[in-house]
Amino acid sequence: MIEAFTQSFMLRAMLAGILVGFMSSYFGVFIVQRRMSFMGSGLAHAAFGGVALGILLNTEPLWIAIPFTIIASIGITLLKDKTKLGSDTSIGILFAISVALGIIFLSLKRSYTADAFAYLFGSILSVQTSDLYVTIILGIITLLTLFRYWSRWAYTSFDRELASTDRIPVTTDDYVLNILLAITIVISVKLVGIILVAAFLVIPAASARLVAGTFFRMTIISIALGVISSIAGLFTSYLFDLPSGATIILVQAAIFLISVIYQKTSAQESI
Amino acid sequence: MNDIAIEVKNLSVIFTRYSALENINLGIPFGTFVSIVGPNGAGKTTFLKVILGLIKPNHGVINVLGKSAGELSPFDLGYVPQIKTLDRTFPALPIELVSTGLNAKWPAAIGKDDNKIIMDSLERVGAGNLARRPLNKLSGGELQRIYLARALIRKPKILVLDEPATGIDWIGEKDIHKIIDEYKTDFNATIIMVTHDWESAYHHADFVLLLNKVAVCFDKPEKAFTEDYLSQTFGHVGHKHEMLFSGRHHD
């Protein structure tokens, strides 16, 4: 077990796992309370379009996927705000466009695209040192939002209108949240994979919701579960040579099951 | 002019396909209780949102406490929304909701000093025992008290309430009216309340605004609640609007 840490790829993966576990489970609480889980799914598929373009252009896919997904995120928020369409419809449209573009980009690349599979399912081996730098920078930004934005996002999640009457800039705050969410999804994709990243955002927060009585506790518990499940999932995935994303998600699912049982038992005890 | 809390001139609000409010002109004096009465879709909630600065009028002006919507501080107004808007899946405690009235942000933790002020506000509305009960476990009447505590903790000069009595039993409603009347007297506050309850509007309000896109009447209850004005507001519904108000309107 210990020798795993002496290998640089595993060290990188573990550090990245802890950071993306923290960020995605932190943003996940807002996703869950605002019923935006489809947004996570939509942005993950937008990331696929970006990754595919990166592969086609023979550059590091992350550098293309980040702006690509940010544009999709702004597009979704704009469509929702400026038209009569609901957010699910806006997400559905940009989701489809991004996947269609991704498929076209990959088909234009005539050579073998093994990279694309790593992005679809997640891989410990795929985390590079440059990815780690981006992750650390975003981790610091996310940590800073805890002080400036958490209480505003929380207030808006509770009641958008009430927050507006207190002059919280709810629309601007939405853009900030959705852009940070887009970047978090892109950098989580390498470990977790495009297919499962939406679940990665939602499960720790949903588990925390079941056991927490206040939104702050929900946030702290969600972050703890996100980090723990990333570490445990990465270890298991390394030991049994399993895809990292799927393993992390199954660890989260086990935690979620325990939360459901805990909630049921404590509800019965209080009767 | 200084005795006017809310001044509205030629105010119109037009949404994409229809106009919600048309050419409203009125002045609400300080320290008065105004009930807004009208049918569904009459623009009552829209009017409250204009006062709160959530909706900008397409035409005309509104001055609240002598300030435009942009200049107004959120602490100048206390707002009690309709409780049906509450998201019951959100993990929150009454003490946290009331703290948003104090600090205009969602709390991570509540300090000792804030805790005392919040508890005083909850005690004032008779909800001290509910401080740490999950919000989603409260009845409509209990929730309404929490929202009222949240609004009153600001000691606002203007208290705005959107159908506070809906879904509350008779005793709860009497109690909430008593708290509002006491607050009005103690702080010389202006109360603006949307209500479907003509009887409570008649007994508690100093002025009644009969609204149906236009301001049909803005006057004292005994002058506003006449067959003619009610017909203009609610339309003819095949029977005479029976006025069953008992007792005198109390000042």
What is the DSSP secondary-structure string of B186-223? Answer: HHT-EEEEE-S-HHHHHHH-SEEEEEESEEEEEE-HHH
pLDDT value, residue A2: 60
Give the residue-averaged pLDDT of A235-250.
90
Nearest chain B residue to A152 by CA distance is: B105
Which residues of chain B are under the pLDDT cut of 50? Answer: 1, 238, 247-248, 250-251
Using an 8 Å CB-CB cutoff, list chain B residues near A161.
Answer: 54, 81, 85
Of A83 and A17, the one with more pLDDT = A17
Query: What rounded mean pLDDT belongs to chain A?
Result: 90
H/E run at residue B23: strand B19-29
Summarize pLDDT for A39-50 with one digit per residue, the tens. Answer: 998 999 999 999
Nearest chain A residue to B49 by CA distance is: A165
Is residue A230 scored above 60 in pLDDT?
yes
**In CATH, B4-82+157-234 is 3.40.50.300:** yes
Q: Does A213 touch chain B (CB under 8 A)?
A: yes
CB contact under 8 Å between A162 and B91, yes or no, is no
Alpha-helical runs (H) found in A109-214 = 114-121, 129-148, 150-158, 160-165, 170-192, 197-211
A 125-184 residues inside an 8 A Cβ radius of B: 150-152, 154-155, 157-159, 161-162, 164-168
Using an 8 Å CB-CB cutoff, list chain A residues near B53.
Answer: 165, 167
A 27-66 residues inside an 8 A Cβ radius of B: 33
Domains of chain A by start residue, with CATH: 3-264 (1.10.3470.10)
* B177 C-beta neighbours (distance < 10 Å), count: 18
pLDDT value, residue A244: 85
- Could you tell me which of B133, B126, B86 has the C-alpha nearest to residue A270? B133
* C-beta of residue A58 within 8 angstroms of C-beta of residue A222: no
Using an 8 Å CB-CB cutoff, list chain A residues near B105.
Answer: 151-152, 155, 166, 168
Summarize pLDDT for A138-171 with one digit per residue, the tens. Answer: 999 999 999 999 999 999 999 999 999 999 999 9
Q: Does A270 touch chain B (CB under 8 A)?
A: no
Give the residue-averaged pLDDT of A187-201.
88
- Of B79, B92, B104, nearest to A158 by CB-CB distance is B92
pTM: 0.90
CB contact under 8 Å between A162 and B106, yes or no, is no
CB contact under 8 Å between B91 and A154, yes or no, is no
Q: Does B53 touch chain A (CB under 8 A)?
A: yes
pLDDT value, residue A100: 95
For tokens 């929730």, name the residue. Answer: B143
How large is the ipTM?
0.89
pLDDT value, residue A155: 97
The residue type found at B40 is: N
- Of B52, B81, B91, nearest to A215 by CB-CB distance is B91
CB contact under 8 Å between A215 and B90, yes or no, is yes
* B209 C-beta neighbours (distance < 10 Å), count: 25
| Cα gap B12→B6, rounded to integer Å | 16
When pLDDT is cut at 50, 70 and 90, the band that residue A271 belongs to is low
* B159 C-beta neighbours (distance < 10 Å), count: 25
Q: Does B100 touch chain A (CB under 8 A)?
A: yes
Of A186 and A117, the one with more pLDDT = A186
Domain boundaries defined on chain B:
4-82+157-234
pLDDT value, residue A125: 73
Please give the biggest Cα pair distance in chain A: 64
- Could you tell me which of B14, B9, B23 has the C-alpha nearest to residue B68? B9
Tokens representing A30 are 């807002």
B 109-148 residues inside an 8 A Cβ radius of A: 109, 134
Give the residue-averaged pLDDT of A80-84.
83
